[in-house]
Amino acid sequence: MAASLSGLVMPVSNSHDQHANFTFPSYAAAPLSLTTQNRSSLSLSISSDHAKKLALCKVLSETDSSLSSTSAELDRERVPVDDDEERIERRHPKEPEGQIADVWREIHGENDWVGLLDHMDPLLRSELIRYGEMAQACYDAFDFDPFSKYCGSCRYTRREFFESLDMAHHGYGVSRYLFATANINLPNFFKKSRWPKMWSKNANWAGYVAVSDDESSKRLGRRDITIAWRGTVTRLEWIADLMDFLTPIYSHNITCPDPTVKAEAGFLDLYTDKDDDCRYCRYSAREQILSEVKRLLEMYSGEELSITITGHSLGSALAILSAYDIVETGLNVMKDSGPVPVSVFSFSGPRVGNVRFKERLEWLGVKVLRIVNVHDIVPKSPGLFINEQLPPMVLKLVGALPWSYSHVGVELELDHKNSPFLKPTADPVCAHNLEAHLHLLDGYHGKGHRFVLASGRDPALVNKGCDFLKDHYMVPPNWRQNANKGMIKGKDGRWTQPERSKLEDHPQDMHHHLRQLGLASSETSNIG
């Protein structure tokens, strides 16, 4: 049966990154303009100038009923276009029709995403990509160059953060940055400068807290507080850093009435450890999160609110831990209204705790949607052999072991082999790449459904930090680089690293909020 061209979306250059200036070469297929008819169907508006070329594409498409096969055929049979036609309008991906304000609670897991994943709900897909981009921003803004004296910090001030990353259209502002101490047993989470006078010897930037602005809040139907955690930046070596044994949550001074609720020790260390001698880490990441969320909840107490936490890789483990902590402490319970919904959108994250941790998280009402690539090794760790996939009777017998892990929440399973844009590779870094996950989300419509890009999100973004796109797209691998590696030429003709604005550490009222939470004494203050 002939395959319809109405389902085909060719790659377009819709960059989300200020460095993405990629233009498909002149042999690319004629550009197609997408218009959304409704939440489940798409139609194509085709200019008359391309009629003959598209007729040829249609003949090619009729050779195979599979859209993936059709896309592959079109990849091989290029149709030349005129020079003035080779540039495709750069724009941000189109939003699906429908009002997120009307259904945001359902999109955020009120009903555990029943009926939204297969077929894939367009609004949910759009929201997942948006929060995934907020997690990706942690990588794009991180200075991982060991020859930079600012290595391990964020390259932008919080006031210019989203604008610098070409993300101002999301309508959020960063309220504070998060820092973690390097004095723990997860060294590959951290990067350090080779310069002795670096910005901090014991701290790394770990993410941020952001709040939707007035206009965006109106569109979203509530004021959204988002926490984004950075993952590791050193390939996948961090898996070897896992202490791989479970420890009780309460042993790290986290509120928990059940001593059998346990989480991976390294994750807990990263979340709770601090360094009194470091101005950025004199408060733990946990204290930074809880105090800021409390401040924001008080500031916007008269509005409808949501707390959304996102992260990739190890960052998704921190997202789940912080979501648990916020709800377990009762921080999200408002005096004059019901609890503020807390949701986690996790990307390629590892297991975090045992089955009792999973059960406690569900009882508390934390909603977790985990987006995974079936070929990614990270979601399979830790607990490679003893995990939630064992028969219930067996799991009950071995559940108390210190390496018995269980995933939490609902899983959305993707497969990079379904994308006609990606080449076969055994590189585990490609399977784990966050931009690749966002690409797969854009083309996912449900199990067994054809891979069709829904928003026109630029496939070139996949190669920002890996080599995953097929070579004939002419997108170089690892193309996202700082201009001249951050060096600038001064008036004297010398090339040097420019000075940056001093990073803010902690707000002056932080100790006040911690004292209200019972996490600090009234007699002492760490503000110095």
CA angle 8, 12, 17 (to 5 degrees): 140
Strands (E), 237-316: 246-248, 262-264, 305-312
Torsion of CA 127, 130, 132, 133, to 10 degrees: 180
Q: Which residues contact 306 (CB under 8 A, 6 or more apart)?
A: 104, 108, 222, 223, 224, 225, 340, 341, 342, 343
**β-bridge mates for residue 223, sequence order:** 305
Token pair recorded at residue 424? 């076969």
Q: Distance between CA atoms of 206 and 413, rounded to whole angstroms? A: 27
Q: Distance between CA atoms of 28 and 219, rounded to whole angstroms? A: 36
Q: Distance between CA atoms of 17 and 465, rounded to whole angstroms? A: 12
How many CA atoms, within 13 angstroms, populate the side-chain half-sphere of residue 81?
A: 22
Catalytically annotated residues? 313, 376, 432
Instruction: Report the DSSP pairing between strands 203-212 and 223-229.
Output: antiparallel
CB 78 within 8 A of CB 27: yes
Q: Which residues contact 86 (CB under 8 A, 6 or more apart)?
A: 23, 24, 25, 26, 28
